Amino acid sequence: MSIDLTNEAQASDEEGAVSPRIPVAALLLSICPGLGHHYAGYLVRGVVLYITLIVLSWLAAVAFMFVDSRVSAVFLAVPFIGVAVIALDAYRLARKQPKDYRLQWFNRGWVYTAVFLTLVVTVNPLMDQIAGKHIVRAYFISSPGMSPTILRHDIVLVNKMASPGRGDIALIEFRDEEKDSLTNLKSSQLIGRIIGLPGDVAEINEKGVFINGKKLDEPYASFEEPTRTGAMYDEISHFGPEQVPTGAYFVLADNRTYGFDSRLLGFIEKERIGGKVTKVFWSWNRDEGHFKWERTAMPLK
């Protein structure tokens, strides 16, 4: 039976008009997961699958964060596998529809657009707000302050549920008005290592870093030859001795030459700690234009 494409186009917006479903079209529309099902006549199924994919992707991110092994990289494939499964399901369902498929009320271009925009502006932001603020957040590194532990152009994961302790790497957050008042602080977020806890006496001198009079063994610390000199470098070369106040931490960057930390910012209040940095999500070598696959899923210590 031949299909009159002219008549089909004219009737495409009329509910009840005959318009066979094209499986390839359902497959291509599934680049936005669920939209292919919408086209194929399965509106509710498409919406449910879209929401399920978002939830599973966040759960995979949480699992990736908590599994302290490079094996956790398999969780990175969950969103891509999910999109592929949804697309193939839409293709299969479109093939099952009869040649005399009659358009439903939702088989209209403006309804496709409305459903797509509703999902994008509600489900995605809601999940980002809930999971990103309270569970796990990806953070792009733009400075060398934590090298060599964390490199520029790394994307790291922050466990928002964890309270970092001594030796842990923490996300430090400042409000915009605080950032403007802090010398040389260009970002409202920093990453540093917690060295001193409340009540500790912290000191830095030419011999090293001391907590309660005991010199720390710091294999993670780096001391690059400074390309800048003057008052600022002199200031960060010495600190204290000074006691860490209640409800605050003494935080240092691993790159002691270029990092911004408690030497310049003072003690960091507990409410500024935004979570524990657990591992590298992935890393981009900007100079050479490729991923640093060896750093993918690398736990941070």
Are residues 123 and 143 located together in one domain of the fold?
no
- Alpha carbons within 13 A on the beta-carbon side of 39: 27
Are residues 129 and 180 located together in one domain of the fold?
no
Which residues lie closer than 8 Å to 27 by C-beta, 6 or more apart? 36, 87, 88, 90, 91, 94
Are residues 118 and 175 located together in one domain of the fold?
no
Q: What is the DSSP letter of 287?
A: T
Going through 175-299 in order, the beta strands assigned E by DSSP cover 189-196, 201-205, 208-211, 214-215, 239-243, 248-252, 268-269, 273-285, 290-291
- Of 134, 160, 184, at which residue does a domain stop? 134
Are residues 142 and 291 located together in one domain of the fold?
yes
- Of 134, 161, 190, at which residue does a domain stop? 134
Are residues 252 and 107 located together in one domain of the fold?
no
Are residues 82 and 215 located together in one domain of the fold?
no
Are residues 124 and 259 located together in one domain of the fold?
no
**Identity of the amino acid at 112:** Y
Q: What is the pLDDT along the chain (301 residues), one digit of tens a residue?
A: 344 433 333 344 566 789 999 999 999 999 889 999 999 999 999 989 998 998 898 888 888 888 877 788 888 889 999 999 999 999 999 999 999 999 998 888 888 888 888 877 777 677 777 777 778 888 888 888 898 899 888 989 898 888 899 999 999 987 665 555 555 555 677 899 999 999 999 998 888 899 999 999 989 988 766 555 444 445 567 787 999 999 999 999 998 887 788 888 889 999 999 899 988 888 877 666 677 878 888 888 8
Crossing angle for the helix pair 43-66 and 78-96, to the nearest 10 degrees: 160
Calpha distance 122→124 (Å, rounded): 6
**Sign of the C-alpha dihedral, residues 207, 209, 215, 221?**
negative
Are residues 268 and 146 located together in one domain of the fold?
yes
Burial class (CB in 10 A: 0-12, 13-18, 19+), 56: middle
Are residues 64 and 172 located together in one domain of the fold?
no
Number of domains in the chain: 2
Q: pLDDT tens-digit profile of 55-100?
A: 898 888 888 888 877 788 888 889 999 999 999 999 999 999 999 9
Are residues 109 and 158 located together in one domain of the fold?
no
Structure tokens at 223: 């001391």
Write out the residue range of the structural domain in which residue 274 sits: 137-295
Are residues 179 and 124 located together in one domain of the fold?
no
The rounded radius of gyration (Å) of the Cα atoms in the chain is 27
- Of 108, 134, 160, at which residue does a domain stop? 134
Are residues 50 and 116 located together in one domain of the fold?
yes
